[in-house]
Structure 1
Amino acid sequence: MSTLSIALCASTALGQDVVQAQSDYFTAGQDLLAERVAAQPNTNQAMNVILFVADGMGIGTNYGIRVFQGQEMGLLGEEHNLPYDLYPHSAIIKTYNINAQTPDSAPTAGAMNTGVKQVFNTINMADTVVHNDCSTEAPLTLFSELVSEAGKSVGVVSTARITHATGAAVYAKTANRNWENNAPEGCTDIATQLIDQMEAGVIDIALGGGARSFAPEGTELEVGTGNRPDDVNLIDRAAEIGAQVVYNSEDLAAADLSAPVLGLFTNSDMNYEHDRPEGEPSLADMTTAAIESLQGDEDGFYLMVEAGRVDHASHGGNAHRAFTDGVALAEAVAAAQEMVDLENTLIIVTADHEHVMSFNGYCGRGTPITGLCMGVAAGQVEHSGEPVTAADGKPYTVVSYTNGAGSVLIEQEDGTYSGERPDLTQEEAQDPDYLQQALIPMGSETHSGVDVGLWANGPWSHLFGGTMDQEMIFHVMNHAVFGAAE
C-alpha cells in the first residue's frame, strides 16, 4: 500500500481527516508500517552467522553512540539511526550470571556461545565449576565447535586482547577468565587454548591485541614484549601449524586469507579508535578481512566480532572514547552487511552487559551528547544555547556515571570523602580526555545489571523478540544453522 492510501485508511478508520497526515513524522511512520505489513519472515537455513558484541554497550550507551555519530555527521543527532537500529527484529536481553546480579563479560559471552548461563569470572564451564579452582572444571560444548564439525569456518575479532573474556568465549574453557597465559598446573591457559583450537581446525582466523600472552617473558616482538611465565613460544607454534602471524595493517593486507591467520596488532589491548595510530587496523578493517577469509569456505562460517574497548572507556569514566569506539562498531556492521547476502546470513548485534552511564535532562535537541546540557528553546527545534543549571547553580553534562574515577567526592587526609561539583565550560566538558562526573568514588567504574538490546537481520532473526535470557542467542543461532535444515 502507498503512503497516501494508508493515510486515507487511517483517516477513514478515525472517521475524520487526520490533520497531521502531511507531517514528516507521520508519513515516515506510515512508510515503516507499510514495510512491516509487507515483510515476510526469512526461514532460509543460515549458511553464515555473524555475532557482533559491543562490550559494555547497553541500550543507554547505544543511545549515546547513535547521537554522537549523528552529531559528527552534522545532524542534531537524535534523528540518526545506526545501521543495526534499522534491523527488522530486536529483543531486550537479560544479562545476569548464575551467581551474579551484575554480570561480567566472560560468562555473558559464554552464554551466547553455549546456550546456558555461567558462573561469574569463568568461561564456558558447567554450573558446578568453582571460580579459580582447576579441579572443578567441567567444559561445555561451543557453538564454534558445532559449526566447525559441520564443515564451517570460524573466526574471532576483537579490539581487546584476543585472549580477553569476550573473544575467548568463542574458543576457550576455563575456571578463571584471567588465566590468559598463566593457568595453574593441570589447567590450560587461554592463549594456549586458542592455538590448540587453531591446530584442531576449529578457529581459522583470530584478529586482535594481546601479543604478550603468546611469547615467553622478555621475548621481543614486533609490537612489544612477551610475558608468558613459561618458556613456551606460541607464535612459533602457530607458524609450525601453518598459521600466518601478522602484526599490522600492511601484514594483514598481504596475508593469504585462504590459510589460518593470527593477528596480534598490539602487545595488550588495541588502541581506542580515537587514539588508533597509522598501521593499526580498525575494527572494520579486521571484520572485512575476517569475512573475506571465511567466505572461502563454501559450507559457510561463524564470526564473532567484539568492540571490546567500549567497555574499557566506560570503566575509565570517559564517554568520548566509549562513543567513538561504538561508532567504529557501527562502521564494522555496515561493512559486514555489504559483504554478505542477508538471505543466507544471520547478523546479530548485541552487548554482553551495560555500564552505569546515565543521561541527564532536560536538554534541548542537538545538545552535544558529550557536553553540557543545553536548555529546551521555545519556538525552535534546536536547543537554546544556554546551559541548564542544577540546584547548586552550576551546569551539568548530559552524560554522567553513578560511580567511577570522575567522582566529585575526593578522599581527604583523614580518609573521609567530601567535595562539590566543579563549574564546567562547554570546552572542558567536550575535551576527549574529560572524565564524566560521577558520585560514588571508585578507581574503575562498574558494570550495570540492566538489560541490553539486541538487533537482528537475516534467517530466523524473527525468533528474537520481547525480553529474553542471554543464552537464547545461542539457541537462535543454532536453530538458524541446524534446526532449519531438519
Structure 2
Amino acid sequence: MYTFFPDLKQDHMHKHIKMPRSKIVEYHDDEKTAEYWNKIAQDILKKQLNRQINTGVAKNVILFLGDGMSIPTLAATRVYLSQKTKQSGEENELSFEKMPFTGLSKTYCVDRQVADSACSATAYLCGVKANEATAGVTAAVELKDCEAMRNTSNHVFSIGRWSQLKGKRTGVVTTTRITHASPSGVYAHIANRDWESDSLVLLDGFDPDLCHDIAHQLIHGETGAELNVIFGGGRQFMIPLTEKDEDGNRGLRLRRNLIEEWEDQKAKSEKSYQYVHNREGLLGVSDNTEYVMGLFAGDHMDYNLDRSPEKQPSLEEMTVKAIKLLSQGENGYFLFVEGGRIDHAHHATRARKALDETVEFHKAIQAALDITDAEDTLIVVTSDHAHTMSLNGYPDRGNDILGIGGMGTDDLPYTTLSYSNGPGYRQEENGIRHDVSKDDLTDKDYRYPALVPLWDETHGGDDVGIFARGPWAHLYSGVLEQNTIPHIMAYASCVNDGENACT
C-alpha cells in the first residue's frame, strides 16, 4: 500500500491528536446499530419510489437564487442551523434540499472559467451565456462597450420579460441593492455591472444619456417599468447628489429622482401603487396594490446578524409579501428572489455571516413552499456560482462547524472552515503559522483563514446545485448548462415561443 512512501505507516495517516474541541452535541446511541441506518435507507427508498412527476402547467414560477451558495456552504449551513439549537446537524436538511428533484449547474461564462454574478445572471435568467460583468446582453458585448450595448440586436430578455408578455405579474426581491448584478439580469441590458447610476457611467467616460445606467433601466426600461414588485436596497442609486434618503444618505445620481419618476409613472397609468422604505411600511401594504417599490437601505440591506428588525424586513417577510401581491393577478406570476449577501460574507471570509444568510434564505424558501401549491407553482432554487470556502479536516461528529477542525503537523490547530484566498490570510511570523485557537471564533465578523492574500475572496468555479418542486421539476436533473434553467421554466409556464407544456 505504501510502495512509494515506505516511511509511512497506516496509523500515521489518520493520527488522533489531542486538540482543542468545541463539541456541541453527541450523536444518538441508535446510530451505532445497523437497524437504524437500514431503516433510514428504506424510508428514503420508499419516498423515491413514490415520487410523482407533474406534467401540468406552471401558472406561477419562483426562482430563488442563493448568490455564492456553493455545495460546501450548504453542508456547513445544515450543521450551523441545527447547532444553533444545540442539536446534531450533519444529517439535517435545509428546506429546499427536501425538494423532489435535483441537478447540477455548470456556471462558467463565455470568457471566464469562473463566473461573476452578472454573466451568470444572464444565463439563469435570460437563457444565454455572456461575458464577465455584463448582463442582459450576448457575448457580442464586451466589458464597457457602450456602443455594442446600445445595439438592441445584442439584447437578450429574461424569463421575467417573457412572463410579462404573456400577461403575468412579475417581481424582484433581493437583500442587495436592487441595481446589483443578479437582480439586474431580470430587467437590464448593460455592458458593465458597475454602471448602477448615471454618475458611474460618466466616471467611465461615457454619456449616460446614451448609455443608460441600471437604475434608469429599472424605472424606464421595457421590463423594469412593468415590474409589479421591487424589493431590496439601493436607494442612493435612485436619487441625485443634491438629495438625501430617509436615513440621511446622500444620493449618487447626477440628476433625476427615479423614485419620484416611478411614482409619477404609476400615477399616470391610474394603477394602484405604493413606495415604502422600512419594515413597517412593507407590512402595511395592501395585498391588492398592483405596483409596490420597497427600498429598505441606501446601499445593500444589512446582514441578518446586523439587521434592525424594526427597520429592515427579513428576506422571508419580503418574499411572503411579494407572493401575496403577485398572487392577485389572474394569469399567474414570475418572481425572482435573491439571498444576495451570502456572497458578500464569503468575499469577506466571514463564514459565520455566510452561513447565517443561507439560513435566512432557507427560511424564505420554506415560507414560499408553505403558501404555494406544488400543483401549479414551479419553485426552482439554485446559485449563480460557488466560492472557495472548504469544509475540511477530521472533526468529531457534532463538533462546532465554526470552530477548530484539526491539528497541523506544526502542532497548531486549524478551523473546519477555511478559504483558498481572501482577506482572512495571516502571514507567518518567524516561520510559524498563526494560532487560531487564540482568536475569538464567536465574533460574527471573524475572518476565517485563507491561503492566499487578497482584498476580496474570489468566486469558485465548482458546479452548483439546482433544486426543484412543481410542474416539470423533474427536468432539473443531471448536469445542466446554467443557461438551460430559464428555458425549462418557460416551457413549464408556457411563456416561450414554440413547444411547451400547453402544446
TM-score, reference length from structure 1: 0.89
**Change over 3 Å in CA distance of 1:230–1:201 after alignment to 2:** closer
The AA in structure 1 aligned to 2:415 is T
**Change over 3 Å in CA distance of 1:199–1:114 after alignment to 2:** closer
Give the match for residue 7 of structure 1: none
* Equivalent-residue separation in structure 1 for 2:223 and 2:364 (angstroms): 28
* Equivalent-residue separation in structure 2 for 1:21 and 1:34 (angstroms): 21
| Residue 354 (1) aligns with residue 366 (2) | no
Q: Kindly indicate whether the alpha-carbon contact (under 8 Å) linking 2:237 and 2:253 is maintained by their aligned counterparts in 1.
A: no
In structure 1, stretches of 5+ residues that fail to align are 1-19, 374-387, 411-416
SS in structure 2 at match of 1:156? strand
* Equivalent-residue separation in structure 2 for 1:200 and 1:116 (angstroms): 19
The AA in structure 1 aligned to 2:174 is S
Give the match for residue 384 of structure 1: none
SS in structure 2 at match of 1:477? helix
* Equivalent-residue separation in structure 2 for 1:92 and 1:162 (angstroms): 27
| Residue 480 (1) aligns with residue 492 (2) | yes
| Residue 180 (1) aligns with residue 196 (2) | yes
Give the match for residue 139 of structure 2: 127
SS in structure 1 at match of 2:316? helix
Within the candidate set 30, 40, 44, 1:28 is matched to 40
SS in structure 2 at match of 1:154? strand
Moved over 4 A (4+): 197-201
Structure 2 counterparts to residues 21-60 of structure 1, below 5 A: 23-60=35-72
Give the match for residue 396 of structure 1: 414
The AA in structure 2 aligned to 1:280 is Q
Once the two structures are TM-superposed, the CA of residue 235 in structure 1 deviates from its matched residue by 1.0
SS in structure 2 at match of 1:85? helix
Structure 2 counterparts to residues 105-254 of structure 1, below 5 A: 105-137=117-149, 138-182=154-198, 183=201, 184-185=206-207, 186-197=210-221, 202-242=226-266, 243-254=273-284
Q: Kindly indicate whether the alpha-carbon contact (under 8 Å) linking 2:128 and 2:156 is maintained by their aligned counterparts in 1.
A: no
Q: Kindly indicate whether the alpha-carbon contact (under 8 Å) linking 1:94 and 1:452 is maintained by their aligned counterparts in 2.
A: yes
* Equivalent-residue separation in structure 2 for 1:302 and 1:198 (angstroms): 16
**Change over 3 Å in CA distance of 1:85–1:78 after alignment to 2:** same
The AA in structure 2 aligned to 1:213 is F
Once the two structures are TM-superposed, the CA of residue 196 in structure 1 deviates from its matched residue by 1.6
Q: Kindly indicate whether the alpha-carbon contact (under 8 Å) linking 1:44 and 1:459 is maintained by their aligned counterparts in 2.
A: yes
Within the candidate set 268, 275, 278, 2:299 is matched to 268
Aligned residues: 447
The AA in structure 2 aligned to 1:173 is H
Give the match for residue 365 of structure 1: 397
Residues 169-191 of structure 1: CA distance to partner in whole angstroms, max 9, x if unpaired?
11111111111012332111111
| Residue 314 (1) aligns with residue 353 (2) | no
The AA in structure 2 aligned to 1:162 is I
SS in structure 1 at match of 2:390? strand
Once the two structures are TM-superposed, the CA of residue 32 in structure 1 deviates from its matched residue by 1.7
Once the two structures are TM-superposed, the CA of residue 125 in structure 1 deviates from its matched residue by 0.4
SS in structure 1 at match of 2:397? coil
The AA in structure 2 aligned to 1:156 is V
* Equivalent-residue separation in structure 1 for 2:377 and 2:263 (angstroms): 31
Q: Kindly indicate whether the alpha-carbon contact (under 8 Å) linking 1:21 and 1:27 is maintained by their aligned counterparts in 2.
A: no
* Equivalent-residue separation in structure 2 for 1:361 and 1:24 (angstroms): 26
The AA in structure 2 aligned to 1:145 is R
The AA in structure 2 aligned to 1:253 is L
Q: Kindly indicate whether the alpha-carbon contact (under 8 Å) linking 2:101 and 2:467 is maintained by their aligned counterparts in 1.
A: yes
**Change over 3 Å in CA distance of 1:419–1:304 after alignment to 2:** farther
Residues 32-59 of structure 1: CA distance to partner in whole angstroms, max 9, x if unpaired?
2112212220001000111110100011
**Change over 3 Å in CA distance of 1:259–1:199 after alignment to 2:** farther
Q: Kindly indicate whether the alpha-carbon contact (under 8 Å) linking 1:43 and 1:460 is maintained by their aligned counterparts in 2.
A: yes
SS in structure 2 at match of 1:207? strand
SS in structure 2 at match of 1:29? helix
TM-score, reference length from structure 2: 0.86
The AA in structure 1 aligned to 2:323 is I
* Equivalent-residue separation in structure 1 for 2:439 and 2:108 (angstroms): 38
SS in structure 1 at match of 2:113? coil
* Equivalent-residue separation in structure 1 for 2:325 and 2:469 (angstroms): 22
Q: Kindly indicate whether the alpha-carbon contact (under 8 Å) linking 1:223 and 1:247 is maintained by their aligned counterparts in 2.
A: no
The AA in structure 2 aligned to 1:154 is T
Q: Kindly indicate whether the alpha-carbon contact (under 8 Å) linking 1:211 and 1:224 is maintained by their aligned counterparts in 2.
A: no
The AA in structure 2 aligned to 1:170 is V
* Equivalent-residue separation in structure 2 for 1:419 and 1:208 (angstroms): 46
Q: Kindly indicate whether the alpha-carbon contact (under 8 Å) linking 2:172 and 2:337 is maintained by their aligned counterparts in 1.
A: yes
Q: Kindly indicate whether the alpha-carbon contact (under 8 Å) linking 1:211 and 1:223 is maintained by their aligned counterparts in 2.
A: no
**Change over 3 Å in CA distance of 1:162–1:21 after alignment to 2:** same
Give the match for residue 451 of structure 1: 463
Once the two structures are TM-superposed, the CA of residue 434 in structure 1 deviates from its matched residue by 1.2
Residues 126-173 of structure 1: CA distance to partner in whole angstroms, max 9, x if unpaired?
121121011012211221111111010000000000000001111111
SS in structure 1 at match of 2:436? coil
Once the two structures are TM-superposed, the CA of residue 431 in structure 1 deviates from its matched residue by 2.2
Residues 460-486 of structure 1: CA distance to partner in whole angstroms, max 9, x if unpaired?
000011111101101110111111011
* Equivalent-residue separation in structure 2 for 1:472 and 1:127 (angstroms): 17
Which segment is superposed worse, 98-107 or 140-149? 140-149
SS in structure 2 at match of 1:136? helix
SS in structure 1 at match of 2:501? helix
The AA in structure 2 aligned to 1:353 is H
Once the two structures are TM-superposed, the CA of residue 201 in structure 1 deviates from its matched residue by 5.2
* Equivalent-residue separation in structure 1 for 2:118 and 2:223 (angstroms): 23
Residues 252-279 of structure 1: CA distance to partner in whole angstroms, max 9, x if unpaired?
1112342211111000000001111132
SS in structure 2 at match of 1:428? coil
The AA in structure 2 aligned to 1:282 is S
**Percentage of matched positions with identical amino acids:** 38
SS in structure 1 at match of 2:407? coil
Give the match for residue 425 of structure 2: 407
